[in-house]
Amino acid sequence: MDDCADISDEALLTQIAAGNRVAFSSLFGRYASKVKGYLIKLGARGAAAEDLAQDVMVSIWRRAASFDPAKAKASTWIYVVARNAWIDKLRRERVELAYRDTLIIDEASDEELPDDAVSRVQTEAQMAEALELLSEEQKQVVRLSFFEDRPHSEIAEHLSLPLGTVKSRLRLALIKLRAHWEQMK
Amino acid sequence: MSGQHHPSADILAAYASGVLEPGFGLVVAAHVDGCAQCRRQVASYEAISGDALCEIDDAAMGDDALSRVMSRLDGAAPEKLAMDRRPFAERLTLKPRKWVAPGVWVAAVETPHARTNRVYVLSVAPGMPTARHEHSGAEFCTVLKGAYRDELGLFRAGDFAATDHDVNHQPVVQGDEACVCLFATEGRLQPQGLLGRLAFAYADV
Ligand SMILES: [Zn+2]
């Protein structure tokens, strides 16, 4: 089966980098089932393990030119390609990004170099003034949410308010504070 | 730049085997990128794993696997992929900066990570007090620019720090440039005081 039986893995990768498909099918014979076994060990199941192992073999073809036999053995390099494919798969599956459930202000691009802000000094006491801008109702939800770290649903229950009201109060409070902070950045 | 503070062998081994949570792996990568010593250590763990790959139990590929893969190979010879040689900090994709206090900004890093983790860049100008805070879980940090000092010592660009939940510390920026750090934090940040909490909520980190 292996037309290149007496050729080292490293030499095969070098030939693959030059576009040699025979060398690739030899390397496939040596490594594809190992890669699949490794992915199964990591937790890949059934058809997913097969598909991902095939993807890894395609990546090996595409990236072969970056293999440097002076730096790593072929097995090390192939391991790294397989490991990275697994990490990427996990990343793709994790669509949910880390947002607090308090993400209630819309994005607005506020690019400014940090150096612009360096010269301005404010004290924490001045920061606290910002809080005084809020209505009592807003302060109340702000304190419960951020100081006592209570979930919105619990605050709603505690204050006998609809959840939507709690969220909109927080949102307005943060918009006010934001406007204040923006002035002094 | 090879700093004074490196990830532990355990952390580097976990990084090399790809089992660190994505955000935490990113913070380790920020250090390893600039540290020849840790790169060598990671390479040696990878070599061990490569040897293990050769010993692993085969899992037979499907009958048509080879032909399917061959049909996906691009026509000519594979192209050499260009290496991204920009400094690590410039390769990060950040959400817009949010000023949370004068001289202090936070930007969430766009990387898929668990909902319960926070991954962000924090920049603090010299002379700015940082919020004394506690951790509810593990935290990794690599300094990207500038320097800070805390109870554990001086941390300069490239240095790595891993802290646990029982740490309550207050870093102080050193020198005359802003200190920019990449953080991955498990669980909710617990800055002490209402303003600290508000600031982090406001910054969506
Ligand atoms: Zn190191």
A105 in reach of chain B (CB within 8 A)? yes
pLDDT at A33: 96
Cα distance between residue A80 and residue B43, in whole Å: 10
Are B144 and B180 spatial neighbours (Cβ–Cβ below 8 Å)?
A: yes
Amino acid identity at A152: H
Are B185 and B118 spatial neighbours (Cβ–Cβ below 8 Å)?
A: yes
A150 in reach of chain B (CB within 8 A)? no
Nearest chain A Cα distance for residue B113, angstroms: 6
Tens of pLDDT, residues A129-176 = 667 778 888 888 877 776 555 678 888 898 898 888 888 888 787 777
Q: What is chain A's percent helix, strand, coil content, to nearest 5? A: 70, 0, 30
The SS3 assignment for A27 reads helix
Query: What does each C-alpha distance from B17 to B12, B25, B91, B173 come to in angstroms?
Result: 9, 10, 22, 34
Cα distance between residue B171 and residue B182, in whole Å: 14
A184 in reach of chain B (CB within 8 A)? yes
B155 confidence band (pLDDT: 50, 70, 90): very high
- The residue ranking higher by pLDDT, A81 or A93, is A81
A81: nearest Cα among A22, A8, A9: A9
Tens of pLDDT, residues B36-64 = 999 989 999 999 999 999 888 899 999 99
B102 and A184 within 8 Å at the Cβ level: the answer is yes
Residue A50 has pLDDT above 80, yes or no: yes
Cα distance between residue A64 and residue A58, in whole Å: 10
pLDDT at B131: 56
pLDDT at A110: 35
Tens of pLDDT, residues A2-35 = 667 789 999 999 999 998 999 999 999 999 999 9
Minimal Cβ distance to B197: which of A19, A25, A147: A147
Q: B160 C-alpha vs ligand 1 centroid, how far in Å?
A: 8
Residue A51 has pLDDT above 90, yes or no: yes
Q: B9 C-alpha vs ligand 1 centroid, how far in Å?
A: 10
Kind and range of the H or E run holding A156: helix A152-159
In chain B, the percentage of residues whose pLDDT exceeds 90 is 29
Residue A107 has pLDDT above 90, yes or no: no
Minimal Cβ distance to A122: which of B25, B50, B102: B102
Q: Taking the model in full, what pTM does it have?
A: 0.71
Tens of pLDDT, residues B158-168 = 999 988 765 56
pLDDT at B75: 64
| Tokens describing residue A5 | 């039986």
Number of Cβ atoms within 10 Å of the Cβ of A15: 19
Angle between helices A152-159 and A163-183 (to 10 degrees): 110
B79 and A62 within 8 Å at the Cβ level: the answer is yes
